[in-house]
Amino acid sequence: VAETLKKSNLGDLKPGDFVNLERSMIANGRFDGHIVQGHVDETAVCTEIKEEDGSWLFSFRLNKQTNLIVEKGSVCINGISLTCFDVTRDSFKCAIIPYTFEHTNFGTMNSGDRVNIEFDVVGKYVANMLATQKR
């Protein structure tokens, strides 16, 4: 679908590239963290990867400025819900633990790679309501 190719990195993928797939939480399961819908809002670029005491720090630059990422808030990168920090209007960082690094495509990511970004759905609704009130 053109919308998917326009907003995601799927057009960059080659046969054999690693993608992250996860089953949905069942409705009677324990709810914790961030609601991930699997919708890509835009892409970002990985600008730096640093190994730090057995974990990794990943830095990302968004394509445009946004107020949809907040310090210690949630963002979904390539289908993985993560906490972000060092947030600016167009960049943020995430810490990746060894398990996530080894079992997702973070282990094969390089600086310069485009990633799929899904902003927190609650934040999107709040931003939409605030924008509607201003009209």
Extended strands (E) in the chain:
42-52, 55-62, 74-77, 80-85, 91-96, 114-119
The pLDDT tens digits of the residues spanning 80-129 come to 999 999 999 999 999 999 999 999 999 999 999 999 999 988 888 888 99
The pLDDT tens digits of the residues spanning 29-88 come to 777 667 778 889 999 999 999 999 999 999 999 988 888 999 999 999 999 999 999 999
Quote the pTM value.
0.86
Residue 17 near residue 113, CB atoms below 8 Å: no
The pLDDT tens digits of the residues spanning 1-17 come to 888 888 888 888 889 98
- Indicate whether 26 pLDDT > 90: no
Could you tell me which of 49, 115, 45 has the C-alpha nearest to residue 78?
115
